[in-house]
Amino acid sequence: MKEELAINGGEKTLSKEFNWPIFDQSDIDVVQEVARSGNWGNPDCLGLVQQFEKQFASYCGSKYAMTCVNGSVALRLALISCGVRPGDEVIVPPYTFIATASIVLEANCVPVFVDIDPDTYNLDPAEIEKAITPKTKAIIPVHFAGQACDMDAIMKLAGKHDLRVIEDAAHAHGGEYKGKKLGSIGDAGCFSFQSSKNLTSGEGGIVVTDDEELFDMMNSLRNVGRVKGGQWYEHHNLGCNYRITQFQAALLSEQLNRLENQTQKRNENGIYLNDLLNKIDGISPLTRGHGETLHTYHIYIFKYDKTKFSGLSKREFAEMLAAEGVPSFMGYPEPLYKQPLFQEKNFMCYAIPDDVDYTKVCCPETEKACYEDAVWIMQNVMLGTKQDMESIAEAILKIQKAAIE
């Protein structure tokens, strides 16, 4: 049986390629049109860029949207524009991409890591409350993998303690919480358009908000400190050039037309795959029913219990599954606070208080997710057929059978 595993030269369970990004002639046409027009840049933040921003704001049910070069810059401009001061504390989860926390340092603020809920891998509101101090100024909840955070609880805490909420929706384009688009619930919602994301132009980012003052400041910061009605060489704020090109905007407008159907498809497949995997001893998909009305499945995550696989490590299991043709891997190898950046305080010129010490931070649920439990399957697989979902379950059962044989 062991020799039948694809990793040992046997036949793959799933032999299909899962492409990403998905595009056709219409995407090529809009990019060619921009090339022919000669209007490639975006000096005044107008034209196709502004058109896409309006389209995305309306899709999210927000008043304003501002594009910028990537999701990290989107988060940083949103945080700075909220008015944080050096030394302020910002609550972030440790189970996320580095940018969620590193942009806090880049704003001369202190990331405070709060553990995740093991059922959803999102910030646990009970833990947030314990971490709030007089220095806390903002919370950055990440809708991890496209699963909505408990936004009612987070907004309630923010109201009680006068905190700003910046949603990190880099995984969550089109996702919903109680019928509201993710990103549109807090003070600002930030998205990434990097290559792997559910809406992409290769690179890029956007912030949505209903707050005009916040929007005007972010706009100024992405456009070298210029202000509405000001002159070209008149700079009021410490910004930079973070503008995207017309090529990106044209592609994004075209891609946005596909997003809703794709999100519905991933959501349906996710529910179906949950049913299939819940039947396998030792495999537990993250739970639903925490307010998400549409899950984007940027990542499909399930928990792996090696004791039901004869002690096969998570890494080996994920490699075997990938060999079977299911694009999967073990996810983050460790919590963010374990990265050399935090452990060695490699904060360079940034003004981070001396007494900050990440060597004693411990978030047990995040450590369990990284070291033992979490296995990831990427979003393009979730655009497959029902048969593909069945093949994923089949591949896992094949590995389990070989392991316990």
Ligand X SMILES: Cc1ncc(COP(=O)(O)O)c(C=O)c1O
Chain-centre distance of CA 234, in angstroms? 35
CB of 70 to ligand X, least distance (A): 3
| Footprint on this chain of ligand X (rule: CB under 6 A) | 70-72, 96-97, 99-100, 142, 168, 170-171, 192, 194, 205
CB of 281 to ligand X, least distance (A): 31
CB of 399 to ligand X, least distance (A): 28
CB of 170 to ligand X, least distance (A): 3
* Residue 189 or 239 with smaller CB distance to ligand X: 189
The residue written with tokens 């196709």 in the block is 48
Q: Residue 183 corresponds to which tokens in the numbers above? A: 């990103």
CB of 203 to ligand X, least distance (A): 6
* Residue 128 or 170 with smaller CB distance to ligand X: 170
CB of 192 to ligand X, least distance (A): 3
Long-range CB contact pairs, 303-308, < 8 A, 24+: 303/373, 303/374, 303/375, 304/372, 304/373, 304/374, 304/375, 305/373, 306/282, 306/372, 307/282, 308/281, 308/282, 308/283, 308/400
The residue written with tokens 């899962």 in the block is 18
Q: Which residue is nearest to ligand X (CB)?
A: 71
On whether the CB atoms of residues 256 and 56 are closer than 8 A, the answer is yes
- How many Cβ atoms from other residues are within 10 Å of residue 62's Cβ? 21
* Residue 96 or 184 with smaller CB distance to ligand X: 96
Using the 8-state DSSP alphabet, how is residue 369 labeled? Answer: I
Residue 132 to residue 90: CA distance in whole angstroms: 9
* Residue 121 or 304 with smaller CB distance to ligand X: 121
* Residue 51 or 194 with smaller CB distance to ligand X: 194
Residue 111 to residue 96: CA distance in whole angstroms: 13
CB of 99 to ligand X, least distance (A): 4
CB of 71 to ligand X, least distance (A): 3
Residue 161 to residue 133: CA distance in whole angstroms: 9
CB of 11 to ligand X, least distance (A): 34
Residues 210-247 as b/e (b if ≥16 CB within 10 A, e otherwise) read ebeebbbbbbbbbbbebbeeeeeeeeebebeebbbbbb
Residue 207 to residue 21: CA distance in whole angstroms: 22
- How many Cβ atoms from other residues are within 10 Å of residue 196's Cβ? 15
Residue 139 to residue 155: CA distance in whole angstroms: 10
Residue 166 to residue 184: CA distance in whole angstroms: 10
